[in-house]
Amino acid sequence: VARFDDQKKAASSAQLLPKLVKNSLFLGYSTEKLQPILKKKDIDKLSKSLNIKPDQFITKYVDKDEAGESRLNQLPCPFLKENKCTQYGSRPADCASYPHLHKKDFVFRLIGIVNNYSICPIVFNVYEALKSKFKSEFIHFLDGFGEFDYD
């Protein structure tokens, strides 16, 4: 059985991702559906930009999620106007790195990628390109497990 996760394929994927992200149009629509994680540094930057104290920012804009992490408490984001971020220079690190395709261990974060597939054009394009690029190798890999309908 062929190994799907060999180093050549991983390197090829890593080279493909930046090209797809660079050539994709990012739409504000995807940010309407997200609630970024806010670290203390993010809250401090946003508070300063809005000219309010961090505790005022927390009271007005922050809730804790099930994991106890701070997130914006509104959807869409209160700083999104006409599909543009009004706090772009002070945006949270989670927003700045979205859709997180450049982060390490891409293949171990596929659930997050799949969750963003339907709302982010960049993720959609990257996922579809990877499917096209690796479909034949993946089918060959699956052949070792018996019959499947691949289409």
Question: Residue 138 class from Cβ within 10 Å (0-12 exposed, 13-18 middle, 19+ buried)?
Answer: middle
User: For position 151, what pLDDT does the model report?
Assistant: 60
User: For position 94, what pLDDT does the model report?
Assistant: 84
More confident residue, 52 or 14: 52
Residues 43 and 60 reside in one and the same domain:
yes
Residues 80 and 46 reside in one and the same domain:
yes
Name the band, by pLDDT with cuts 50, 70 and 90, for residue 120: confident
Domain count, the chain: 2
Residues 84 and 136 reside in one and the same domain:
no
Name the band, by pLDDT with cuts 50, 70 and 90, for residue 50: very high
> Whole-model pTM above 0.85?
no
- What residues make up the domain containing 81? 35-97
Name the band, by pLDDT with cuts 50, 70 and 90, for residue 70: very high
Q: Using an 8 Å Cβ cutoff, are 106 and 114 in contact?
A: no
| 22 is a domain residue | yes
More confident residue, 37 or 1: 37
Cβ-count burial 34-62 (b if 16+ within 10 Å, e if not) = bbbebeeebbebbbebbeeeeeebbeebb
What is the distance between the alpha carbons of residues 36 and 72, in angstroms, rounded to a whole number? 6
Residue 108 phi, psi (nearest 5): -90, 0
What is the distance between the alpha carbons of residues 106 and 69, in angstroms, rounded to a whole number? 22
DSSP 79: T
Mean pLDDT, residues 61-69? 94
